[in-house]
């Protein structure tokens, strides 16, 4: 039997994503559908920074009074001028009353919410191509005006 290496996490970056007011499509057969516009923001890693470009969105589905699936898609422009596509899938789980407060746009204590994500990246630049070939994990905090994310590379 071959030994399988235990994955480790290495810090990659912190993102601050500015968001707009939700657009609510109502309850469908899959849950409450919402679209959260991405207005801008910033990203900073070791030795690099980037601007979160406006025009992306976080497509949300409130599955239960406790559980929300998130599917955010947006672009970064790095300090070197390269464009990186970000696709971040996440779940956010909290007590019913905490989830209700989040949906109303209220602040909640970060430790009251389980917010974990699996971002993936696409880049054509040789400098950034390596991020398309790795797995990343992250954690987040939602405030009324922004989403704060910390991403780790799985090595």
Model confidence pLDDT, tens digit, residues 88-125: 999 999 999 999 999 898 999 999 999 999 999 999 99
pTM greater than 0.85 (yes/no): yes
Which pLDDT band, with edges at 50, 70 and 90, does 1 fall under?
confident
Model confidence pLDDT, tens digit, residues 11-61: 999 999 999 999 999 999 899 999 999 999 999 999 999 999 999 999 999
The architecture of the domain spanning 9-154 is Beta Barrel (2.40)
Tokens 């994310």, residue? 149
C-alpha distances in angstroms, 78 versus 14, 51, 154?
13, 6, 22
Instruction: Write down the pLDDT at residue 98.
Output: 96
Give the count of beta carbons closer than 10 Å to the beta carbon of residue 74. Answer: 23
Instruction: With beta carbons less than 8 A apart as the criterion, state whether 144 and 124 touch.
Output: no
Instruction: Write down the pLDDT at residue 83.
Output: 98
């Amino acid at each position: 039997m071959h030994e399988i290496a235990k994955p480790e996490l290495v810090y990659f970056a912190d993102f601050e994503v500015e968001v707009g007011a939700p657009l609510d499509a109502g309850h469908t057969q899959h849950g409450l559908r919402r679209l959260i516009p991405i207005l801008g923001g910033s990203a900073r890693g070791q030795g690099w920074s980037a601007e979160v470009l406006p025009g992306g969105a976080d497509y949300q589905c409130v599955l239960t009074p406790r559980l929300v699936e998130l599917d955010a898609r947006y672009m970064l422009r790095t300090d070197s001028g390269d464009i990186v596509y970000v696709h971040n899938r996440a779940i956010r789980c909290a007590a019913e009353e905490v989830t209700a407060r989040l949906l109303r746009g209220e602040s909640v204590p970060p430790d009251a919410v389980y917010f974990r994500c699996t971002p993936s990246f696409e880049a054509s630049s040789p400098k950034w191509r390596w991020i398309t070939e790795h797995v990343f994990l992250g954690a987040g905090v939602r405030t009324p005006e922004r989403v704060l994310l910390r991403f780790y590379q799985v090595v």
